[in-house]
Chains A and B, each alone.
Chain A
Amino acid sequence: MSVQTHIPATAMASRPAAGIHGTKMVARDVKVFYGAKQALKGINLEIQENRVMALIGPSGCGKSTFLRCLNRMNDTIENCRVEGLIALDGEDVYGKNIDAVQLRARVGMVFQKPNPFPKSIYDNIAYGPRIHGIASHRDEMDEIVQTSLQRAGLWNEVKDRLREPGTGLSGGQQQRLCIARAIAVSPEVILMDEPCSALDPIATAHIEELIDELRENYTIVIVTHNMQQAARVSQKTAFFHLGDMVECDDTEEIFTNPRDERTQGYITGRYG
């Protein structure tokens, strides 16, 4: 994997003066290739701290690919090559100073399909803290498990059956379990790849509320196919199309007053 290590000076300023929301992550001219096929054609994006950024766009436009670059999940894909710069707090995530494992502890991820480990609910949450050595004894671990489940809004439903398998929960509960698992390691950024696409409207509403609450403590990037969802949960929205980032602005702006006609076409449902 070859990475351009030249970091532009503007990207290094991790907390510019723009309001209270500093820049958490920066992407500069990010290009991704799967073998000979180019999936991303130079993405420039800034992700602000403690805000929700929604990535929207038609299928195959590269939003998930971009999301997976942010915590280097693409490393696991054969033939995948990333060019350009992605910085977390001004540090190149593909650089020498950041290890992929360390990065993924700081940038957590929730996947499209709920994927709890086939272990108990407790162990699902405790796994991350355990491998990172976050809790030094049992009480501390119990505390982490409880707060994580509480923040994910799952505690009241599962507090009496923490020893039961996480795979026995309903789809929506499983997804909240996965969110609890992600926040148990106290990441700085949480990436969500269509977290509600496998869920019913009630479970979706649950997760959306949760995302809004999590914004207080975490920076969130969410990929979604559901325009209403993007409008409901995000403050910033980026529209992707055929490997390009067409437009990125305040969510309200994008949905009421898009500048690009492709964006307008997509949000009004003319294609996608």
Chain B
Amino acid sequence: MSVAVTKSRYQSEEFSARLRRRYAAERRFRIAGMLAVGIASLMLVVLLGSIVSKGYTAFWQAQIRLEVTLDKQQVEERNYTAIVRQALYAQVPAATDRATRRSLNDLLSSGAPYELEAMVNANPSIVGTTQTVWVRADDEIDQFMKGFIRRDVPESERRLSDVKITAIDALVANGSIRSTFNTTLFTAGDSREPEQAGILGAVVGSALTLVVTMLLSVPIGIAAAVYLEEFAPKNRWTDLIEVNINNLAAVPSIIFGLLGLAVFLGFFGLPRSAPLVGGLVMALMTLPVIIIASRVALKAVPPSIREAALGVGASPLQTVTHHVLPLALPGILTGTIIGMARALGETAPLLMIGMVAFIVDIPGGLTDSATAMPVQIYMWADSPERAFTERTSAAILILLAFLILMNGLAVFLRKKFERRW
């Protein structure tokens, strides 16, 4: 005898089929999600891989050793070119005729005589002695040493003549060529010669621009957000302002550039290419981002904290400054730093106000002519020399390093100031 068991509807065949379908749907969703993450990571790896593989060589630079005899008369005539050349000819004894020697002149960077002059000026006591110095090689020699110019292609299609290659081989043979860390990349401004070009001018330009941006947009942005969120009455006007702020955050950055061109350069007559103007434009661009992020952070502070503070008799301003703002600070900081990072990577508005210019000097103030890092990358990418290609990638790496640093700072500050309740 078996007892007839009435099955509930949740034990029926149909229900278990439905259950299987539900789980299948979940599995498909998980797979789709993992695929998406995988593709995104792959793209990131490809992007970084391509930049790093193209750019890492820029951090090394070939140098040539010279035994310079600092003849007193030549120094007085400031004929350092002759000093450098004589030293070079001495390194390559095989080159005796005029034509060969002339082509040897191209082995050294055109900046070599100036380097020597600077050395003498710094230490005049070395005049009359013979000194061993390492000077930068020309960018083509550098590229050859890195293997980017191949000796097995016919001479007519090669950027380096057979004569030069022979001379280089001779220099390599007696240990007069070395590869060192390319400090110039970090300590010099822009140059037409790749081996003399550095990113420092652009880094300083970017830093000055960001300082102006931060000093303007952070206090104004936070104050605006606090007023709108905590004090302003909710009416048609504040609604209108809110809609406008949200729209401003979506305006293409080049429009802000045009605005800066018309207002700051055209109307106020501020100097062209100046970090001051760049910073003003970036501040306009960053303000809506900071206001929106700050308002979201302020909104996330539980109203019970405001009530608690008001309940013990704190004034509305005390409520905000003592309780609400400190709690919203991590969110505000994150929004601000992300806004700043965006400003750091922005090119378009700077094009409009003349910060895309060939500027050799490192800017010393807010009104000096300057470029910014993304603009420098853009300009180097435009240059024909092979050596600038690797410097472009290197500059991108440096910019990325700054961005990672800033985002890391945002995460760190968030973790540090975040409070649970």
Residues of A within 8 A of B (CB): 71, 73, 76, 78, 101-102, 104-105, 108-111, 113, 115-118, 127-128, 131-132, 167, 178, 181-182, 184-185
**B416: A residues at CB distance < 8 A:** none
Residues of chain A within 8 A (CB-CB) of B305 are 115, 117-118
A111-B308 in contact given A118-B419, A118-B421, A167-B421 (Cβ < 8 Å): yes
Whether A104 lies near B311 (C-beta < 8 A) is yes
Total number of residue pairs linking A and B with CB closer than 8 Å: 69
20 A-B residue pairings within 8 Å (CB atoms): A73-B310, A73-B311, A76-B307, A76-B310, A78-B233, A78-B234, A101-B314, A108-B312, A108-B313, A109-B311, A116-B421, A117-B323, A118-B305, A118-B419, A118-B421, A127-B312, A128-B314, A131-B312, A131-B318, A185-B312
* CA gap between A76 and B313 in the complex, in Å: 13
Give A116 to B307 CA distance when docked, in angstroms: 10
Q: Which residues of B contact A110 (CB under 8 A)?
A: 311
Q: Which residues of A contact B327 (CB under 8 A)?
A: 118
Chain A residues positioned under 8 Å from B304 (CB to CB)? 111, 113, 115
Q: How far is the CB of B157 from chain A (nearest CB, A)?
A: 71
CB of B312 within 8 A of CB of A118, answer no
Q: Which residue, B305, B307, B309, has most C-beta atoms of chain A within 10 A?
A: B307
Is A128 a contact of B312 with CB atoms below 8 Å?
A: yes
- Cβ–Cβ < 8 Å partners of A184 in chain B: 312
- Report the Cα distance A167→B308, complex, angstroms: 13
Beta-carbon contacts of B295-329 to A below 8 Å, as 1s and 0s?
00000001011111111111100100011000100
Q: Is B420 an interface residue (CB 8 A)?
A: yes
Are B421 and A104 touching (Cβ within 8 A)?
Answer: no
Set of chain B residues within 8 Å of A101, measured between Cβ atoms: 313-315
Does B322 contact A127, Cβ atoms closer than 8 Å? yes
In the complex, which residues of chain A have a beta carbon less than 8 angstroms from the beta carbon of B421? 116, 118, 167
Contacts of B234 in A (CB 8 A): 78
| In contact, A73 and B313 (Cβ under 8 angstroms) | no
CA distance A177 to B304 in the complex (A): 15
Q: Which residues of B contact A113 (CB under 8 A)?
A: 304
Interface residue from B309, B310, B315, B318 paired with A117 (Cβ < 8 Å)? B309
From known contacts A118-B327, A118-B419, A167-B420, infer whether A105 and B308 are also in contact, taking CB-CB under 8 Å. no
Task: Give the chain B neighbours of A108 by CB distance below 8 A.
Answer: 311-313
Q: How far is the CB of A125 from chain B (nearest CB, A)?
A: 10
Asked if A128 meets B310 with Cβ closer than 8 Å, knowing A113-B304, A115-B304, the reply is no
* B219-252 to A contact mask, C-beta < 8 Å, 1/0: 0000000000000011000000000000000000
Determine if B314 and A181 form an interchain contact, defined as CB atoms under 8 angstroms apart.
Answer: no
Q: Give chain A residues whose Cβ lies under 8 Å from the Cβ of B308.
A: 111, 115-117, 178, 181
For the complex formed, measure the closest distance between the CB of A198 and the CB atoms of chain B, giving whole angstroms: 11
* Complex partner residue of B312 from A76, A102, A181, CB under 8 angstroms: A181
Q: How far is the CA of A9 from the CA of B310 in the complex (A)?
A: 31
Within the complex, the shortest CB–CB distance from B153 to chain A, in Å, comes to 70
Give the docked Cα–Cα distance between A46 and B377 (Å). 76
Shortest Cβ gap from A127 to chain B (Å): 6
Q: Are A115 and B307 in contact (CB under 8 A)?
A: yes
Per the bound structure, the CA–CA distance linking A182 and B313 in Å amounts to 10
Residues of B within 8 A of A127 (CB): 309, 312, 314, 322
A73 & B312 in contact (Cβ 8 Å cutoff): no
Contacts of B313 in A (CB 8 A): 101-102, 104-105, 108, 128, 131-132, 185
- Binary CB contact string for chain B from 393 to 421 against chain A (1 if under 8 A, 0 otherwise): 00000000000000000000000000111
Specify the chain B residue showing the minimal Cβ separation from A184.
B312
Residues on B with beta carbons closer than 8 Å to the beta carbon of A181: 308, 312
Cα–Cα, bound, A144→B327 (Å):
26
Closest residue to A181 on the B side, CB-wise?
A: B312
A76 and B306 within 8 A (CB): yes
The answer for the CA separation of A39 and B311 in the assembled complex, in Å, is 22
